[in-house]
Amino acid sequence: GENVEQHPSTLSVQEGDSAVIKCTYSDSASNYFPWYKQELGKRPQLIIDIRSNVGEKKDQRIAVTLNKTAKHFSLHITETQPEDSAVYFCAATNFGNEKLTFGTGTRLTIIP
């Protein structure tokens, strides 16, 4: 089955700086990669996703890149703000499978 690894497990950045979280996956058949943000005690919230037919996707301060050859994808947050502090999870799946395999999460702390 699919295995997703996520790094780093914790990340602290100064407000205004950029944050990068990286994930690798094992199943070359995976073709859908969402990112979720989870604040303490709250639901995982889908913030951005990417399909394998594109290499990059951007939504305001958030971007995701995908390298299918190397089987890794990354989340980039620019101009970080205190409200970006949360745990971020990457996940992978393939169409027809649907069950998401999650990484272990990255606790992002924005230092004011």
- Site residues (CB under 8 A) for another protein? 6, 32, 34, 36, 42-46, 49, 89, 93-95, 98-105
Nearer to another protein, 18 or 42 (CB): 42
Closest by CA position to 67, among listed 53, 55, 51: 55
Task: Using the minimum distance from each CB to another protein, give the nearer residue, 2 or 78.
Answer: 2
Minimum gap (Å) between residue 55 Cβ and another protein: 18
Residue type, 7: H
Q: How far apart are CA 102 and CA 33, in angstroms?
A: 10
1 or 112: CB nearest another protein = 1
At 91, the amino acid letter reads A
